[in-house]
Amino acid sequence: MKDGGFILWFTGLSGAGKSTLANHVAPILAARGVAVEILDGDEVRENLSKGLSFSKEDRDINVRRIAFVANLLGRNGVCAITAAISPYRAIREECRAKAQVPFVEVFVDAPLAVTEARDVKGLYAKARAGQIPHFTGVTDPYEPPSSPEVVVKTGEETLEQSAAKVIEYLKRRGLVR
Amino acid sequence: MKDGGFILWFTGLSGAGKSTLANHVAPILAARGVAVEILDGDEVRENLSKGLSFSKEDRDINVRRIAFVANLLGRNGVCAITAAISPYRAIREECRAKAQVPFVEVFVDAPLAVTEARDVKGLYAKARAGQIPHFTGVTDPYEPPSSPEVVVKTGEETLEQSAAKVIEYLKRRGLVR
């Protein structure tokens, strides 16, 4: 167990900007001397969860794996940023309860209208066309956090503003200098 | 990327003593100031690979996941000790090639006669009775390393002797003070 580690848990719809924000926040933290690893949703699916579907059961398994690895990193002094949709509240709460390091939940809050209009990866169009089953926000639920540590509104704020909110919180909490 | 991390990759038959050795070596390393995490075969199956079978394909996926996590830890300055059977040479070599930190392969070499006679978990008996398919050494192959950094003979050496071999190598290599 090494001091200084924590989990920065981003949650939000596909296209809400979780990965973008993670990739923007990471170098800011690194510049302040924090060791950072990003566990991106797509990367984790590839490396830890290939073969899992998007059913509730499989999503929960995927999220638990992310939390397991994030905790391993966290207790070794790393800031583990997770950037997976993680749509179910109960599992996020389970991850928080099991974490051996501070768990900071960041709700990357963009309305469905915004994420669907962006449709960066073209996934919403496919989901609407019935080509992707279990698509969060379209055919699968998204349960927003009840009391996240930070809420960023990526549809209204600039990336810099959202990142600043996260950093401000971490400073106030004493997790970053 | 933080200095000092490395992967200590134990490989060997079920019952060869991988976990026992890992649990003996870990506190010795910790006492020398090394941050250590053990990725034990059973624990990893539970937390990262539940649902995977013991077919070659699924074993390879499991081993790649272990390597992925070990590398994440290693590049953050941690000594990640992996203690899974990891029976296939090609995949171990792939893990070595992909590692961003020193990869130290420790062949935990106990003859099948010894591991089967011990049968700590009663698995060999079940495998012989046909109750466990794909059991390494019985109905599945084990491919010993061609040029492991360390070989320990747990059937002939004491636990302390085997651990000393590992520590000696790490000191010689400059990975431990």
Which residue positions in chain A have pLDDT lower than 70? Answer: none
Contact A35 B73 (CB under 8 A): no
Chain B residue nearest residue A65, CA to CA: B48
In a domain, B118, yes or no: no
Q: Is A60 on the interface with B (CB under 8 A)?
A: no
Q: How many domains does chain A have?
A: 1
**Whether residue B43 has pLDDT greater than 90:** no
Residues in chain A with CB shorter than 8 Å from the CB of B47 are 64-65, 68
* Among B61, B64, B69, beta carbon nearest to A69: B69
Closest Cα partner for A64 from A40, A42, A86? A86
Residue A35 pairs in a beta bridge with: A78
The region of weakest confidence among A154-168, B44-58, B63-77 is: B44-58
Rounded to an integer, what distance in angstroms lies between the CA atom of residue B167 and that of residue A170? Answer: 39
Chain B residue nearest residue A1, CA to CA: B35
In a domain, B93, yes or no: yes
In a domain, B120, yes or no: no
Q: Is B59 on the interface with A (CB under 8 A)?
A: no
* A contact residues 75-94, partner B, Cβ 8 Å cutoff: 76-78
In a domain, B78, yes or no: yes
Q: Is A59 on the interface with B (CB under 8 A)?
A: no
CB within 8 Å of B2: residues ≥ 6 apart: A35, B75, B76, B77
DSSP structure class, residue B31: H
Mutation target to probe the A interface, by most A beta carbons within 10 A, among B6, B36, B48, B100 is B48
Q: Cα angle at A42 between A36 and A44, to 5 degrees? A: 60
pLDDT of residue A104: 98
pLDDT of residue B107: 98
* B contact residues 103-162, partner A, Cβ 8 Å cutoff: none
| Three-state SS at A37 | strand
pLDDT of residue B2: 82
pLDDT of residue A88: 97
Compute the average pLDDT of residues B145-158.
97
Domain containing residue B39: CATH number: 3.40.50.300
In a domain, A80, yes or no: yes
Contact A72 B76 (CB under 8 A): no
| Three-state SS at B11 | strand
**Whether residue B171 has pLDDT greater than 90:** yes
pLDDT in tens, B29-39: 999 999 999 99
pLDDT in tens, B93-151: 999 999 999 999 999 999 999 999 999 999 999 999 999 999 999 999 999 999 999 99
pLDDT of residue B110: 96
Active site residue A86: yes
pLDDT of residue A42: 87
In a domain, B30, yes or no: yes
Contact B47 A65 (CB under 8 A): yes
At B42, the pLDDT band (50, 70, 90 cuts) reads confident
Active-site residue (options: A86, A146, A147, A162): A86
pLDDT in tens, B73-103: 999 999 999 999 999 999 999 999 999 999 9
In a domain, A88, yes or no: yes
Boundaries of domain holding A151: 6-172
In a domain, B134, yes or no: no
Chain A residue nearest residue B48, CA to CA: A65
